[in-house]
Amino acid sequence: MRLKEEELRFYIPEPTATFFQAPSGIEEQPGVIHIVGVPLDDTVSNRPGTRFAPQTLRQISPYIEYTSTRGNIVPVNKVVRDVGDIVLYQGDIEKNIERISKAVSILVKQNNLKILFIGGEHTITYAILRALKKRTLLIYFDAHLDMRDEWPLGQKLSHATHVRRLVEHEKDNVFVINIGARAYDTEEIEYARTQKNIIILTHSILKEIPPGSVLKIVRSAVREFDPEIVYLSIDVDVLDPSLVATSNPEGGGFSYNDLFTLLSGVVNIVQDKLSMVDVVEYNPLVDPCYATAYNVLRIIVDIIDLLCFNSLS
């Protein structure tokens, strides 16, 4: 690897086990997806435990079949490299945001590196995007808007406020699309509706319009905003709580098929500019017998398939 390995390894030590038992490290080949665990769990207001997600998913990952929802068998050894988990200082959110941003800025010195981040709580998205310093379109699947001004009251930066902080900080340099929100309060939805660089496609809107119309909205936002990069974030609580255990579950969510239809459509639209994705908020501590980890791993296999299959065929 051309990166300064020593500099990177201060933040991300070599993993002892790897996702899908794929090789560790960094490989600058087109089509290779680098997995980075970000076990941030500092501001979770309901049920803590997301910090254990990267390790748990890594341990279970060799036992699944790598067949994607599209029916492709993903050659994980060829297309996946596990970089490891960013070491964080439990309980120190400011310091941890800084450490995540620093690790990401070292990684992105390498042009066009494709990275799949595994959270951790959703606040990792804020830390990662702050490091990119590019005109960015953020598309996030989430049961929540994460646009409160403070949550809990008095706390400015948390899993429930990070998208608002991002918009405030990056201003015209960021455009945000939420897909699937079904749990929000008056203050945050009013905020979202009054910002020119935010589109919200709530769960109730999605019930009224077909997936093709949703994708049309995404396509025209991409055309009008013309981002340098697109960043995709999947908060797994967009799925119904019967399908995945999370820190902040909300009833009445997406089926896997609902998610996959929109996810694959979005990736298809933004593919050229998409090099980073995160999957956040899975919580193994509320997942007895790891019954729902397999749905999170399916999301991960599907993303790898969607991101790299074109370059393999």
**Min separation Cβ 57 and Mn ion, Å:** 18
**Min separation Cβ 66 and Mn ion, Å:** 27
Q: Which of 121, 146, 287, 305 binds Mn ion (CB under 5 A)?
A: 146
- Cα(276)–Cα(280) distance, rounded to whole angstroms? 13
**Min separation Cβ 180 and Mn ion, Å:** 10
Q: Does 278 bind Mn ion (CB under 5 A)?
A: no
Nearer to Mn ion, 61 or 246 (CB): 246
**Min separation Cβ 120 and Mn ion, Å:** 11
Nearest partner of 127 among 4, 297, 278, judged by Cα? 278
Nearer to Mn ion, 137 or 280 (CB): 280
Nearer to Mn ion, 123 or 136 (CB): 123
E runs forming strands in the chain: 33-38, 80-85, 114-119, 136-141, 174-179, 198-201, 229-235, 274-280
Contact predicate 91/43, CB 8 Å: no
Hey, which residues between 147 and 166 contact Mn ion (CB under 5 A)?
Answer: none
Nearer to Mn ion, 237 or 258 (CB): 237
E runs forming strands in 65-203: 80-85, 114-119, 136-141, 174-179, 198-201
**Residue 80's Cα: distance from chain center in Å?**
17
**Min separation Cβ 183 and Mn ion, Å:** 10
Q: Which of 99, 122, 165, 298 binds Mn ion (CB under 5 A)?
A: 122
Nearest partner of 25 among 110, 87, 83, judged by Cα? 83
Taking CB under 5 A as the binding criterion, the range among 2-10, 15-23, 30-38, 232-240 that sits at the site for Mn ion is 232-240
**Which phi and psi (to 5°) does residue 170 adopt?**
-90, -15
Contact predicate 282/57, CB 8 Å: yes
**Min separation Cβ 292 and Mn ion, Å:** 17
Contact predicate 180/141, CB 8 Å: yes
Q: Which of 82, 170, 235, 278 binds Mn ion (CB under 5 A)?
A: 235
Taking CB under 5 A as the binding criterion, the range among 84-92, 140-148, 214-222, 238-246 that sits at the site for Mn ion is 140-148
Which residues are within 8 A (CB) of 79 and not within 5 positions of it... i.e. 6 or more apart? 31, 32, 33, 304, 308, 312
Strand 174-179 relative to strand 274-280, pairing: unpaired
Q: Does 121 bind Mn ion (CB under 5 A)?
A: no
End-to-end Cα separation, the chain, in angstroms: 25
Taking CB under 5 A as the binding criterion, the range among 4-12, 115-123, 175-183, 184-192 that sits at the site for Mn ion is 115-123
Which residues are within 8 A (CB) of 65 and not within 5 positions of it... i.e. 6 or more apart? 73
> Count of alpha carbons within 13 Å of 92, Cβ hemisphere only?
8
Nearer to Mn ion, 35 or 143 (CB): 143
Taking CB under 5 A as the binding criterion, the range among 13-21, 206-214, 228-236, 286-294 that sits at the site for Mn ion is 228-236
Nearer to Mn ion, 142 or 188 (CB): 142
Q: Does 142 bind Mn ion (CB under 5 A)?
A: yes
Q: Does 250 bind Mn ion (CB under 5 A)?
A: no
Which residues are within 8 A (CB) of 34 and not within 5 positions of it... i.e. 6 or more apart? 26, 27, 81, 82, 83, 107, 113, 114, 115, 116
Nearer to Mn ion, 85 or 142 (CB): 142
Taking CB under 5 A as the binding criterion, the range among 64-72, 134-142, 254-262, 300-308 that sits at the site for Mn ion is 134-142
Which positions lie near Mn ion, rule CB under 5 A? 122, 142, 144, 146, 235
